[in-house]
């Protein structure tokens, strides 16, 4: 039973997403990173796939007719951590289970702030330029994406040298707390320099994330 998996889904759309494909790699060692037992499965979502999603992952509705229902998906028994690039989307698409999330996107933004893009594809060009184009030919299938994420995660671990998965999770949690205001009249400004009355107002909003709330309350 894996304690941690690198996880990715493809879904029907961005809003009210239902999974149509899920994939993972089991993390067997954290430092150095080693992975094993790749797994992938397609699902019938019971609803149409949006054109925007179709243009991204190229999985067509008619290919899923005889697949198991999306509602039948379960994480492997014993999973305590799921790791992924912007992992909250994948986590929410599978029903927000009680697991710890490690976000490689947040960690990458924190470690390499000078880069103009932190997508998985951009990061792969940054880390492995000579072979990135070939590796990315199947990008946006769930299984291809978890392999690419494992490359990104390996670079993160090499830089941070976490002693355990829980240490890596704590680093991810810290990296996820924003330092720049993401919206409003102070968008783009350092949160630490925003007027206190504006912070108090922003904290009354219902749609702010828990991580932004932490930054505003600090």
Q: pLDDT of 18-43, one tens digit each?
A: 999 999 999 999 989 999 999 999 99
In degrees and rounded to multiples of 5, residue 29 shows phi and psi of -155, 145
Contact 115, 122 (CB under 8 A): yes
The CATH class given to the 4-176 domain equals alpha beta
- Residues 41 and 20: beta-carbon distance below 8 Å: no
pLDDT of residue 107: 98
Contact present, 109 and 103 (Cβ < 8 Å):
no
Q: 138-193, pLDDT tens digit by residue?
A: 777 899 999 999 999 999 999 999 999 999 999 999 999 999 999 999 999 999 99
pLDDT reading at 134 higher than 80: yes
pLDDT of residue 30: 93
Instruction: Specify whether the CB–CB gap between 180 and 191 falls below 8 A.
Output: yes
Torsion 182-187-190-193 (CA) sign: negative
By the 10 Å C-beta count (0-12 exposed, 13-18 middle, 19+ buried), 45 is classed as: buried
Q: What residue segments make up the domains of the chain, in order of their start?
A: 4-176, 177-218
**80 CB neighbour count, 10 Å cutoff:** 16
Angle formed by the axes of helices 165-176 and 104-111, nearest 10°: 70
pLDDT digits (tens, 9 = 90+) for 97-117: 999 999 999 999 999 999 999
C-alpha distances (whole Å) from 8 to each of 43, 131, 176, 182 are 14, 22, 19, 25
pTM (2 d.p.)? 0.90
Whole-number pLDDT of residue 41: 97
Percent of the chain surpassing pLDDT 70: 100
């Amino acid at each position: 039973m894996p304690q941690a998996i690198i996880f990715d889904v493809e879904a029907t759309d961005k809003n009210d997403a239902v999974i149509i494909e899920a994939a993972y790699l089991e993390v067997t060692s954290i430092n150095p990173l080693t992975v094993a037992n790749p797994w992938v499965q397609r699902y019938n979502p019971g609803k149409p796939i949006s054109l925007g999603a179709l243009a991204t992952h190229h999985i067509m509705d008619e290919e899923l007719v005889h697949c198991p229902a999306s509602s039948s998906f379960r994480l492997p028994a014993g999973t305590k951590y799921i790791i992924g690039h912007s992992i909250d989307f994948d986590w929410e698409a599978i029903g927000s289970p009680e697991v710890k999330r490690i976000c490689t996107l947040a960690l990458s933004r924190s470690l390499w702030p000078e880069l103009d893009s932190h997508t998985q594809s951009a990061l792969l060009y940054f880390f492995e330029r000579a072979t990135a184009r070939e590796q990315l030919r199947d990008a946006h299938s769930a299984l291809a994406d978890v392999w690419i994420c494992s490359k990104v995660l390996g670079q993160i671990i090499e830089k941070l040298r976490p002693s355990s998965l829980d240490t890596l999770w704590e680093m991810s949690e810290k990296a996820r707390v924003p330092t720049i205001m993401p919206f409003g009249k102070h968008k783009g400004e350092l949160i630490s320099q925003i007027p206190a009355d504006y912070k108090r107002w922003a904290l009354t909003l219902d749609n702010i994330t828990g991580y932004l709330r932490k930054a505003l309350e600090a």
